[in-house]
């Protein structure tokens, strides 16, 4: 088996058993990145030198027996909104084009303590604002299943990197679905933990009351193992929660007998693609066959989650992003007259359109005269949405539904109409408003050969229930094949796609002869 | 379109958001914002009287700790990211005459 086809835990096991060295694992990941980046652009920064040095260091610790963690020596991609000391962290924004943090995010630090080898920073929608990874200042990321389509967003780079075998796993962040929706579009498994489970220290904030870091991987076991590693109480994040039940891999049990699963009928209503609906219901049937009790119910308030979310997230963003002013780091305008002109020009030139749109909306809904009508109204709606979930979890252990209304749209189709793009978040954002854990697991392909994911939602702190349901489903579903290397590498030029590759018939492991011009060095893309 | 954003409102938002828009961008922003607010007005269908605004899903209390220095002097490291610096400080345009 090729290293690029292994799960994180499989690779970690082989490293511990000395069958593969950490350096070989890093080399394989970097080789795969060189091969696939020209057509996919999953990374903003690839740290080849740093990764190889770090892998050698980790290998020493593994060899001497001081490092025995399951993920020791396994390469990882980190979403570019998590600070990594000395390694470029851009949030895919021009305003942070040259920012090298002086410290590392707590979640990333936890991974490093467990022997993770960071190969690079993954592309995303600018400041995580978007659902397609098209608002990145460093170019779009393409979907490995079909490069004419988006990978979803905002953690599109992380999901596409895992789907294409560039890295066995990655970290993403989820404010309104940014782990679960791109996981669905890319055919990978992603988990957004209960709010407060993973420290947000060092995560560049978008909507602080909604943001949460989580794992993206090839299967449920990897997600559980990664979450177990990154979850921690952190005094540097005042919303961090002390949990005693972070042994998430203990929930990898193939047994759902008696588990009560509810499917919100509101999630299956108009607007949901028929093929997606069929795949979701088929996934529910798999769990039913294994002894789960499945029924439909009315969740209510589903459509109100979107406007409430955009008010709250934009309000928080307008406050959080006020720190980018051209003084302490990042981009400063070349020409200005005085301090305020410098602030305004640096921000106006540094931020992209979608970010500016949300900052303005957020400033407006927080301004005097509108605060009650918009901001407080949204917070009241949030309370009602939380109550609706509380009622649902009195009856059900797990809520099952789609992660997105459709499979991945084509590049360029979404940005023209922001509201239409926001509507695509309908099944994911209420989970953030209510602070719940949610997970996406691949459950089928549509007629175009694009993946569909089923979303499992749990009550607060009930990750183990969704992990168990997801694991049992995965066992029932059977093996899930990701697009093979030959499909994703070197087939697409800037405008082209690889259409025919995703339909399952042509998945060979043959080499691609792709040119080595995709990956960037740790110096970053620069030039802006 | 129910919401109409006036030039004055847009000007005010520009001040709050510290953004400078060209006339063309301003027109577009007015349209975008009006459309978003029309959509957000959907929330008015909901009766939220008597519902407390919920800012956090869990009870969040003040977290107190001693204010102890845990890191060393990172001035040099931090200043490396500064667009302009002078004598160990961030340099900004003159603000006081």
pLDDT at residue A496, as a whole number: 36
pLDDT at residue A487, as a whole number: 53
Cα–Cα distance, A422 to A309 (Å, whole number): 10
Could you tell me how many CB contacts below 8 A there are between chain A and chain B? 160
DSSP A414-448: STT-HHHHHHTTTTTHHHHHTT--EEEEEEEE-TT
Taking CA–CA distances from A356, the nearest residue in chain B reads B19
From chain A, the residues in CB contact with B78 under 8 A are 102, 328
A339 vs B29: CB contact, 8 Å cut-off?
no
Pair type for strands A75-79 and A43-46: unpaired
From chain B, the residues in CB contact with A379 under 8 A are 53-55
**Helix, strand, coil % over all residues of chain B, rounded to 5:** 40, 5, 55
Do residues A147 and A391 lie in contact, with contact meaning Cβ atoms separated by under 8 Å? Answer: no
Active-site residues of A: which are they? 79, 154, 178
A328 vs B13: CB contact, 8 Å cut-off?
no
A311 vs B40: CB contact, 8 Å cut-off?
yes
pLDDT at residue A6, as a whole number: 97
A347 vs B40: CB contact, 8 Å cut-off?
no
Backbone angles phi, psi at A402, to 5 degrees: -75, 165
Closest CB to A344 among B20, B57, B65: B20
Angle, CA of A407, A262 and A291, to the nearest 5°: 100
Percent with pLDDT over 70 in chain B: 99
Provide block-wise average pLDDT over 10 residues at a time, chain A (528 residues): 95 97 98 96 98 98 97 98 98 98 97 98 98 98 98 98 98 98 98 98 97 98 98 94 96 98 95 97 98 97 96 98 97 96 97 96 95 97 98 98 97 86 93 98 98 98 98 97 66 37 32 34 41
pLDDT at residue A264, as a whole number: 98
B82 vs A329: CB contact, 8 Å cut-off?
yes
Give the 3-state secondary structure of A472-516.
HHHHHHCCCCCCCHHHHCCCCCCCCCCHHHHHCCCCCCCCCCCCC
From chain B, the residues in CB contact with A328 under 8 A are 78, 81-82, 90
Closest chain A C-alpha to B65 CA, distance in angstroms: 9
Q: Which residue of B18, B72, B78 to mutate against A (max A Cβ within 10 Å)?
A: B18
Cα–Cα distance, A289 to A293 (Å, whole number): 9
pLDDT at residue B97, as a whole number: 72
- The two tokens of residue A294 are 């499945």
Q: Which domains does chain A have, with CATH numbers?
A: 3-300+390-483 (3.90.1300.10)
Closest chain A C-alpha to B66 CA, distance in angstroms: 11
Q: Sign (positive/negative) of CA torsion A243, A248, A250, A256?
A: positive
Q: Which residue of A194, A233, A380 to mutate against B (max B Cβ within 10 Å)?
A: A380
B36 vs A348: CB contact, 8 Å cut-off?
no
Closest chain A C-alpha to B2 CA, distance in angstroms: 15
Taking CA–CA distances from B25, the nearest residue in chain A reads A353
B83 vs A331: CB contact, 8 Å cut-off?
yes
Delimit the domains of chain B by residue range.
7-45
Closest chain A C-alpha to B11 CA, distance in angstroms: 11
pLDDT at residue A270, as a whole number: 83
Residue A214 parent element (H or E): strand A212-217
Taking CA–CA distances from B78, the nearest residue in chain A reads A102
B19 vs A348: CB contact, 8 Å cut-off?
yes
Closest chain B C-alpha to A173 CA, distance in angstroms: 18
Q: Which of A126, A167, A136 is nearest to A36 (CA)?
A: A167
Closest CB to B83 among A301, A326, A361: A326
pLDDT at residue A497, as a whole number: 37
Do residues A434 and A385 lie in contact, with contact meaning Cβ atoms separated by under 8 Å? Answer: yes
Topology of domain B7-45, CATH: Histone, subunit A (1.10.20)
From chain A, the residues in CB contact with B82 under 8 A are 327-329
pLDDT at residue A502, as a whole number: 36
pLDDT at residue A431, as a whole number: 98
Do residues A25 and A100 lie in contact, with contact meaning Cβ atoms separated by under 8 Å? Answer: no
Do residues A158 and A77 lie in contact, with contact meaning Cβ atoms separated by under 8 Å? Answer: yes
Closest CB to A102 among B13, B55, B78: B78
pLDDT at residue B62, as a whole number: 79
| ipTM associated with this complex | 0.95
Strand partners, A172: A214
Q: Which residue of B56, B57, B76 to mutate against A (max A Cβ within 10 Å)?
A: B57
Backbone angles phi, psi at A129, to 5 degrees: -100, 95
Helix (H, G, I), strand (E, B) or coil at A403: coil
A100 vs B39: CB contact, 8 Å cut-off?
no
A351 vs B19: CB contact, 8 Å cut-off?
yes
- The two tokens of residue A350 are 């540094």
From chain A, the residues in CB contact with B93 under 8 A are 336, 338-339, 341-342
* Integer Rg of chain A from CA: 21
pLDDT at residue B56, as a whole number: 86
* Environment class of A252 (CB within 10 Å of its CB; exposed 0-12, middle 13-18, buried 19+): buried
- Position of tokens 């993954």? A122
DSSP A297-342: E----GGGHHHHHHHHHHHHHHHHGGG-SSSSSS---SS-SHHHHH
């Amino acid at each position: 088996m090729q290293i690029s086809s292994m799960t994180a835990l499989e690779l970690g096991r082989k490293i511990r058993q000395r069958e593969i060295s950490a350096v070989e694992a890093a080399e394989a990941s970097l080789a795969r990145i060189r091969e696939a980046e020209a057509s996919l652009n999953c990374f903003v920064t690839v740290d080849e030198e740093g990764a190889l040095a770090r892998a050698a260091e980790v290998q020493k610790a593994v060899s001497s027996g001081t490092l025995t963690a399951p993920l020791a020596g396994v390469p990882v991609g980190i979403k570019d909104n998590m600070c990594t000391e000395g390694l470029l962290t851009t949030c895919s924004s021009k305003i942070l084009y040259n920012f090298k943090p002086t410290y590392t995010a707590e979640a990333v630090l936890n991974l490093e303590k467990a022997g993770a080898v960071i190969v690079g920073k993954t592309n995303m929608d600018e400041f995580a604002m978007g659902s397609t990874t098209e608002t990145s200042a460093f170019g779009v990321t393409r979907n490995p299943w079909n490069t004419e389509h988006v990978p979803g967003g905002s953690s599109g780079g992380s999901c596409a990197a895992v789907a294409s075998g560039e890295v066995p796993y990655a970290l993403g962040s989820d404010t309104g679905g940014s782990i679960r929706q791109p996981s669905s579009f890319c055919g990978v498994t992603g988990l957004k933990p209960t709010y407060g489970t993973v420290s947000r220290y060092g995560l560049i904030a978008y909507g602080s009351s909604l943001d949460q870091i989580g794992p993206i991987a090839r299967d449920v076991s990897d997600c559980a193992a990664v979450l177990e590693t990154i979850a921690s109480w952190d005094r540097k994040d005042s919303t961090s929660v002390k949990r005693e039940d972070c042994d998430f891999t203990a929930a990898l049990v193939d047994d759902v007998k008696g588990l009560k699963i509810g499917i919100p009928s509101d999630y299956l209503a108009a607007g949901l693609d028929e093929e997606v609906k069929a795949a979701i219901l088929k996934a529910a049937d798999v769990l039913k066959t294994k002894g789960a009790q499945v029924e439909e119910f009315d969740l209510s308030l589903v459509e109100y989650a979107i406007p409430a979310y955009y008010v709250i997230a934009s309000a928080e963003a307008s406050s959080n992003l006020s720190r980018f002013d051209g003084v302490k780091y990042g981009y400063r305008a070349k020409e200005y007259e005085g301090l305020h002109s410098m602030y305004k020009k640096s921000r106006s030139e540094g931020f992209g359109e979608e970010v500016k749109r949300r900052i303005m909306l957020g400033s407006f809904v927080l301004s005097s005269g509108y605060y009650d009508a918009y901001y407080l109204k949204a917070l009241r709606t949030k309370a009602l949405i939380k109550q609706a979930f509380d009622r649902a979890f009195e009856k059900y252990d797990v809520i099952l539904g789609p992660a997105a209304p459709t499979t991945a749209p084509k590049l360029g189709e979404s940005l023209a109409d922001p509201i239409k793009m926001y509507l695509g978040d309908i099944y994911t954002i209420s989970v953030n408003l209510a602070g719940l854990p949610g997970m996406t697991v691949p459950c089928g392909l549509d007629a175009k050969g694009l993946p569909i994911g089923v979303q499992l939602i749990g009550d607060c702190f009930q990750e183990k229930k969704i992990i168990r349901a997801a694991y049992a489903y995965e066992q029932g579903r059977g093996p899930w094949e990701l697009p093979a290397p030959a499909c994703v590498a070197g087939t697409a030029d800037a405008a082209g796609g690889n259409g025919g590759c995703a339909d399952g018939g042509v998945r060979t492991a043959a080499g691609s002869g792709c040119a080595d011009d995709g990956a960037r060095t740790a110096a970053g893309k620069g030039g802006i | 379109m129910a919401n109409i954003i006036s030039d004055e409102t847009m000007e005010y938002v520009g001040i709050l958001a510290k953004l400078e828009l060209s006339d063309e961008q301003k027109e577009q922003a007015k349209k975008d914002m009006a459309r978003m607010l029309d959509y957000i007005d959907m929330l008015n269908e909901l009766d939220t009287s008597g519902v407390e605004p919920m800012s956090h899903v869990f009870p969040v209390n003040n977290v107190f700790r001693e204010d102890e220095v845990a890191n060393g002097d990172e001035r040099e490291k931090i200043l490396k990211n500064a667009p302009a610096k002078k004598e160990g400080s961030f340099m900004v345009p003159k603000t006081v005459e």
